[in-house]
Structure 1
Amino acid sequence: MYDSHNSPVIGIDLGTTFSAVARWTGEDADVYSPKGERTMQSVVFYDEKTDKFIFGRTAFMSGMLKPENLCIGVKRLMDNKDAKVTLGGKEYSPIDISSMILKSLYSNVKGMFPEGVYDASGAVVTVPYYFKAHQCENTAEAAKKAGLNLVGILQEPIAAAFAYGLHHSSKDTVRNENILVFDLGGGTFDITLFKIVEDRENIKFEVLAIGGDDRLGGLDFDNSFMKYILDKEGIDLDECDNERMKKIGLQKLMDSVTKSKEALSSTDSVFMGVPDVIPGVHIDNEYTREDFEESISNYLEEIKAILKSTLNAANIDPKDIDKVLKVGGSSKIPAMDMIIEEVVGRGKTYSDIDPSLCVAQGAAIYGAYLTNNLAIDKKITIETTTAHALGVEDSNGSMVVLIHQNQKTPARKTLTFTTDEDNSTEIDVEVYQGASRIAKQNAHIGTVKIKGLVPKPKYELQIKITFEVGKEQMVKVTVEQEESNIKHTEMLKLA
């Protein structure tokens, strides 16, 4: 029997700046509040005195004096598992750091219960829809390294749609809605357009289009606002020749900038006082919401452009969007409401789910669904689209696309290629994911090695390559060459 209290499948929103953990109680998704906080800063600090790592707000504050031992925003490094993060003189990979954060999140939840009582039976960890295959794989590896029984990786907008869809579902609910998920967190931006169709027997979540940028979010806003303030104050950090004092000053200023940014979401102006940004140089001034919006104006234009292009890709008129769900802490910035109103229309933003918590809640719902513990009479169906184009590299280094971005899954496409050298007996089919015309500028998904080709002059052999993408987000690559009696198939994981 499913124990939703002591042994649930948990949902984890592993965010760039904040993370959260939730469970499905049997009736709703409940976010845990260890130490009285429903979210934890995704920050790691190495404490040299104790030779231990600390996490969350305590880690961030400790980093004020030892910024060289602090790691913030590791999620942005998940596209390169070989990247190095140095803490306490030792090197760690982004997977290592992410696994530490996940382990700390889970440990905090376990600490809410008597020893030996709580043991989650599984976990679903979320990722941005715009993450590529290797970023999803690295996240899964971090979860397993943290000791979690990973039962699924779920895209954040789908999690938010689950949280909204199940929150408003009842036995008699009937609806047909176009939902826009506007997901802007600390490090990534996702736009996902859904159709939710529900009757007395079924709930269908259909992804119509996606767009976004995995390098756009609150961290960029913080850095832009900080640079704006330094320019306004006439402070040149290079005047400080003490590198450690410069880092400490920057950390203090960043803490004040972050708090001011958050305050400017609910007030028109804020006082900023920061002593010794560099020794003997202080900030003692008032900044307005207009100052903040001016500092991030280029990002606001980029967000607006992504929103418009995503709607165009779905071929949907903005007037046909019924509701907008805002997800992520940065979605609370008032300028985002102005963009949404300008592009989509007024009065469509839905605020009955918490932007900071709904992803963890949706992940918990999905975890219960995967393990047949959702206890809902209706059949749930998810229809997805491809987040990125898929293709192969040709002899010129170009990306030849077989499956396009925003193509509904399952999807299938066959193209015919040939050899570009005389008497080739083997080829490597390099599979890539991304939008660049240059193959190597995209994410490398895998290599399909083909041997035993009949030797022929170049351009004479016809080699058929077929891509098939299923709803489980795997790409099936089949290579066929009739004269050589070759038909080779491999499965490559996308998420």
Structure 2
Amino acid sequence: MTYDAQNSPVIGIDLGTTFSSIARWTGEEAETYSPKGERMIRSVVYYDEKNSKYIFGNTAFMSGILNPDNVIVGVKRLMDDKNAKIKLGSKIHDPIEISSMILRNLYNNVKSMFPSGVYEASGVVVTVPYYFKAHQFQNTSEAAKEAGLKLLGIIQEPIAAALAYGFHHSNKHLNREEKLLIFDLGGGTFDLTIIKVKEDDENLSFDVLGIGGDDRLGGMDFDRAFMDYVIHREKIDFGSVKDEKIKKIGKKKLLDSIIKSKETLSATESVYVAVPDVVPGVHVDAEYTRRDFETSIEPYISKIKNIIKKTIASAGIAPYEVDKIIKVGGSSKIPIMNKIIEDEVGEGKTYSDIDPSLCVGEGAAIYAAYISNNLNYNKNIKIETAAAHALGVEDSRGDFVVLIHQNQKTPAKRTLTFTTDEDNQTEIDVKVYQGTAKRARDNEHVGTVRVMGLKAVAKYQLEIKITFEVGRSQEVKVTIEEIQSGINKTEVMKLT
């Protein structure tokens, strides 16, 4: 069947914390849609009580300034808890529902560019941070399906960015090998991934060497830190305001001005901040400098530097071995980030001819074409991944016993032997966790394998072999074997 790049393309969606985008594979390249003249759409939902309808994007953000109880910004940060309650006026939703609304709105905006019934994407890939854990992947998948999208798969944002870079520079006779540092700093998350790109006449490969990040570090944190800085300097006392709605409106007005000022300070050394009636009778009317902003976010700067150091070390390379830096995400454009990168990795390595705000969505569209056999590319594509988080089980003391280590290449396989610690114990629960904490329950619970029918013998007599196998499809196959009892049980748990 001929690929219809116009009316039935495969598409990629960058579902961002603060902004999202949607791109298609044209048959030759990835191209970002610009419905209603916008290529980046705010990931914001507002419920209009008066007209009983949901509003999205920048209109939703502005509407939320006067009605802050009816708006949600940054729902991606809540994707680790699908049961979280989000109140929009009289409506209550969970993070999956809100994310599905954002995805559906993005898709419907593109459909509205065509006559009714003409456009229908043949498949969709949605992006997530590399540092997301299993349940966050799964919740994102559920949101895409709830939005009515034909989900082909999920791809991690740094790999999508590397694909966009790799294809942008690829040509038929190019031979290269280079190590990329993907510096992905968005509105709500920070991903740092080191990827080796290798290309010859027949192959183009992407090999993940090291992973680091923080799913609670991004532009939204910078906004709040800068706002706290202004509140302290201007001696604004929100505690003196008794009316909760007036207080929330004042904070929302100030935050809107702070966000605009932060963006302006990426281009100039100073900005004038003017916000009337932040609290009744109190106005902000002052100049702030880029240095003020950088001072306000110093704790986050230190975190970013430490993550860079740790990630490079985990990749088993020295900083000078990083060949190029690919900056991804709106917050990566903040000037101080250039200095951080230069201090930690070296000067003159930042690659800037792919758009930091669009390359993830475009890389997702490339991946959608790849997995749907619509890429029509003259080289073999190979993507080698690594485990973003350690995988293991809980022992009888409640400790986390690691079978697959963080940054371990996948596919990976490892077996450990355990035993019973009670006489005549005939059943056990093998609880699988993902994370880095020493105590198992401080990590993310992936799933539990119930094993029944163990031979009733004295404690310590059984040899229970637990094997983890993690494939490139980001699933963990858990096999429990006990020879005396004749048990050999396997369950597969999704990590994406």
Deviation at residue 72 of structure 1 after TM alignment: 0.5
The match for 1:19 is: 20
How many pairs are equivalent? 495
Spell out the pairing of 1:186-225 with structure 2 (5 A cutoff). 186-225=187-226
Distance 1:151 1:157 in 2: 18
Structure 2: which amino acid aligns with 1:286?
E
Q: Is residue 52 from structure 1 mapped to residue 53 from structure 2 by the alignment?
A: yes
Which secondary structure does the structure 2 equivalent of 1:465 belong to? strand
Distance 1:339 1:152 in 2: 34
Structure 1: which amino acid aligns with 2:381?
I
Q: Bigger CA drift: 344-353 or 109-118?
A: 109-118
Distance 1:255 1:100 in 2: 23
Residues 379-420 of structure 1: per-residue CA shift (max 9 Å, x gap): 000000000000001111111000000000111111111111
Residues 293-337 of structure 1: per-residue CA shift (max 9 Å, x gap): 000000000000000000001111111111000000000011110
Which secondary structure does the structure 2 equivalent of 1:2 belong to? coil
Structure 2: which amino acid aligns with 1:388?
H
TM-score by length of 1: 0.99
Which secondary structure does the structure 2 equivalent of 1:136 belong to? helix
Q: Is residue 284 from structure 1 mapped to residue 313 from structure 2 by the alignment?
A: no
Spell out the pairing of 1:287-326 with structure 2 (5 A cutoff). 287-326=288-327
Which secondary structure does the structure 2 equivalent of 1:63 belong to? helix
Deviation at residue 88 of structure 1 after TM alignment: 2.1
Residues 203-248 of structure 1: per-residue CA shift (max 9 Å, x gap): 0000001000001100100000000000000111101111000000
Which secondary structure does the structure 2 equivalent of 1:319 belong to? helix
Deviation at residue 351 of structure 1 after TM alignment: 0.2
**RMSD of aligned alpha carbons:** 0.6
Distance 1:10 1:455 in 2: 56
Distance 1:131 1:107 in 2: 27
Structure 2: which amino acid aligns with 1:345?
G
Distance 1:412 1:373 in 2: 32
Q: Is residue 438 from structure 1 mapped to residue 435 from structure 2 by the alignment?
A: no
The match for 1:143 is: 144
Structure 1: which amino acid aligns with 2:21?
A
Spell out the pairing of 1:103-142 with structure 2 (5 A cutoff). 103-142=104-143
Structure 1: which amino acid aligns with 2:112?
G
Spell out the pairing of 1:239-258 with structure 2 (5 A cutoff). 239-258=240-259
Spell out the pairing of 1:168-187 with structure 2 (5 A cutoff). 168-187=169-188
Which secondary structure does the structure 2 equivalent of 1:355 belong to? coil
Structure 1: which amino acid aligns with 2:184?
D
Spell out the pairing of 1:30-109 with structure 2 (5 A cutoff). 30-109=31-110
Deviation at residue 448 of structure 1 after TM alignment: 0.5
The match for 2:372 is: 371
Residues 72-128 of structure 1: per-residue CA shift (max 9 Å, x gap): 000000001011101122211100000000000001111111111111111000000
Distance 2:281 2:174 in 1: 64
Which secondary structure does the structure 1 equivalent of 2:47 belong to? strand
Distance 2:90 2:224 in 1: 26
Q: Bigger CA drift: 411-420 or 9-18?
A: 411-420
The match for 1:423 is: 424
Structure 2: which amino acid aligns with 1:244?
K
Distance 2:321 2:195 in 1: 12
Distance 2:90 2:400 in 1: 41
Distance 2:231 2:89 in 1: 29
Residues 31-54 of structure 1: per-residue CA shift (max 9 Å, x gap): 000110101000000001110100
Distance 2:307 2:491 in 1: 34
Which secondary structure does the structure 2 equivalent of 1:284 belong to? strand
Q: Bigger CA drift: 79-88 or 11-20?
A: 79-88
Distance 2:313 2:471 in 1: 24
Structure 2: which amino acid aligns with 1:10?
I
Structure 1: which amino acid aligns with 2:25?
W
Distance 2:117 2:477 in 1: 43
Structure 2: which amino acid aligns with 1:153?
I
Deviation at residue 431 of structure 1 after TM alignment: 0.1
Which secondary structure does the structure 2 equivalent of 1:208 belong to? strand
Structure 2: which amino acid aligns with 1:76?
R
Which secondary structure does the structure 2 equivalent of 1:103 belong to? helix
Structure 1: which amino acid aligns with 2:245?
R
Distance 2:375 2:76 in 1: 30
The match for 1:484 is: 485
Distance 2:208 2:164 in 1: 15
Structure 1: which amino acid aligns with 2:145?
K
Deviation at residue 460 of structure 1 after TM alignment: 1.5
Distance 2:445 2:5 in 1: 40
The match for 1:494 is: 495
Structure 2: which amino acid aligns with 1:386?
A
Which secondary structure does the structure 1 equivalent of 2:66 belong to? coil
Distance 1:472 1:192 in 2: 18
The match for 1:28 is: 29
Deviation at residue 191 of structure 1 after TM alignment: 0.4
Distance 1:2 1:425 in 2: 56
Structure 2: which amino acid aligns with 1:25?
T
Structure 2: which amino acid aligns with 1:169?
S
Residues 53-80 of structure 1: per-residue CA shift (max 9 Å, x gap): 0000000000111100000000000001
Distance 1:118 1:112 in 2: 9
Structure 1: which amino acid aligns with 2:194?
L
Distance 2:354 2:425 in 1: 59
Distance 2:354 2:439 in 1: 41
Distance 1:396 1:87 in 2: 43
The match for 1:271 is: 272
Q: Give unpaired runs (5+ residues) of structure 2.
A: none
Which secondary structure does the structure 2 equivalent of 1:407 belong to? coil
Spell out the pairing of 1:231-242 with structure 2 (5 A cutoff). 231-242=232-243
The match for 1:389 is: 390
Q: Bigger CA drift: 348-357 or 114-123?
A: 114-123
The match for 2:168 is: 167
Q: Give unpaired runs (5+ residues) of structure 1.
A: none
Which secondary structure does the structure 1 equivalent of 2:65 belong to? coil
Segments ≥4 residues shifted beyond 3 Å = none
Distance 1:161 1:205 in 2: 8
TM-score by length of 2: 0.99
Distance 1:398 1:215 in 2: 25
Which secondary structure does the structure 2 equivalent of 1:64 belong to? helix
